[in-house]
Amino acid sequence: MQGNTVTGNQPTGDSLVSGGIVVHSSAILGGTDPVGNLVRGNLLRDNAPDLAYDGSGAGNTFVHNSCSTSTPDGLC
C-alpha cells in the first residue's frame, strides 16, 4: 500500500481491530498471518490509530509514512 491519504477512521463501537492502515493476522478467524506487506509513503491523519500492526507474520515493512499515532509506537 503506498501513496494513499487515509483520514478519520475511528471505531464507533467495539472493534477487533481499528485504524487507518491495519496489518493484522486473521489466523483467529481461520485466515493467515500477513507476509511481505510494504506500507510506504502514505499520509494518515485523525485515525485511531493511524497505523496498526500486531507484529504477526514476516517481512512487513513500514517506511516514509506521515502520521501521528501508531500501535506499536515507532511506525510513523
Q: Tell me the average pLDDT across 37-50.
A: 96
Range of the domain at 57: 1-76
Q: Does pLDDT of 29 surpass 90?
A: no
Read off the pTM: 0.88
Q: What is the DSSP letter of 16?
A: S
- For the chain, how many structural domains are there in total? 1
Q: Does pLDDT of 16 surpass 90?
A: no
pLDDT of amino acid 11: 86
Q: Report how many helices (DSSP H) and strands (DSSP E) the chain contains, helices first.
A: 0, 7
pLDDT of amino acid 74: 93
Q: Does pLDDT of 7 surpass 90?
A: yes
